[in-house]
Homo-oligomer: A and B are copies of this chain.
């Protein structure tokens, strides 16, 4: 296998769009979710994010990175106003609609209507869910951090509730998101399905790992 080497000086010299696609490929496969929100103007907003990540199980919370001056600005405004937002998984049938939410629509336009997805509400969360999504999470904004290095914004959301398909819950708490056909993204636009390798036992020093039983995966 032959390798290419890029230094920090090489990044500076890359053409802008080339660099965006290149650097976005480096962190590995990313989660990709639709974030639903609604602010004081009452307009439902929906935006695709590949920077949502696990931040804690107890209390249950997710983190999300937002760019300050680009597409997700409406999302940020809405979340800061209402304190609520939703995170909705994407499966192959809705990938193109989900991707289309990254277009720049006017603040008064609902991406739900523009791309053809359906908003849905629960009792506990004021932000709109994506009815078509198979895994839906409702969150409450609890903290915001401004990353000085590049002006991105970290939001911490406490999970208020979630909706998951009954058939994907395994007896040890694992949710088989592969069975729910949750997709993953590479770089900014390359959508992938998944294929199972294995679930591995909790690792301990001086103990061999075991592959978990098929019933759990």
**Bound-state Cα–Cα, A156 to B7, Å:** 18
Query: Which residues of the other chain, B, contact A209 by a CB distance below 8 angstroms?
Result: 96, 99-100
A69 interface contact, C-beta 8 A = no
**Bound-state Cα–Cα, A53 to B200, Å:** 23
Query: Which residues of the other chain, B, contact A163 by a CB distance below 8 angstroms?
Result: 3-5
A50 interface contact, C-beta 8 A = yes
Interface size on A, residues (CB 8 A): 115
Q: Mark A183-201, 1 if CB is under 8 A from B, else 0.
A: 1101101111111111111
Known: A23-B159, A60-B23. A205 touches B103 (CB 8 A): yes
Partner pick for A53 among B51, B60, B189, CB 8 A cutoff: B51
A108 interface contact, C-beta 8 A = no
Q: Which of A30, A160, A174, A205: most chain B Cβ within 10 A?
A: A174
Query: Which residues of the other chain, B, contact A26 by a CB distance below 8 angstroms?
Result: 54, 60, 62, 87, 135, 137, 159, 162, 175
Specify the main secondary structure of chain A where it touches its partner. Answer: mixed
Known: A27-B31, A105-B205. A174 touches B21 (CB 8 A): yes
Q: Mark A33-53, 1 if CB is under 8 A from B, else 0.
A: 100000000000000001111
Known: A19-B173, A20-B173, A105-B205. A92 touches B195 (CB 8 A): no
Query: Which residues of the other chain, B, contact A55 by a CB distance below 8 angstroms?
Result: 51, 65, 147, 150, 152
**Bound-state Cα–Cα, A30 to B50, Å:** 10
A73 interface contact, C-beta 8 A = no
**Bound-state Cα–Cα, A178 to B28, Å:** 9
Known: A96-B209, A149-B143. A203 touches B103 (CB 8 A): yes
**Bound-state Cα–Cα, A25 to B195, Å:** 16
- Please give the residue numbers on chain A whose beta carbons come within 8 Å of chain B beta carbons, in ascending order: 1-8, 11, 14-33, 50-63, 65, 87, 89, 92, 95-96, 99-105, 114, 124, 134-135, 137, 142-143, 145, 147-150, 152, 154, 156, 158-167, 169, 172-178, 182-184, 186-187, 189-205, 207, 209, 212, 217
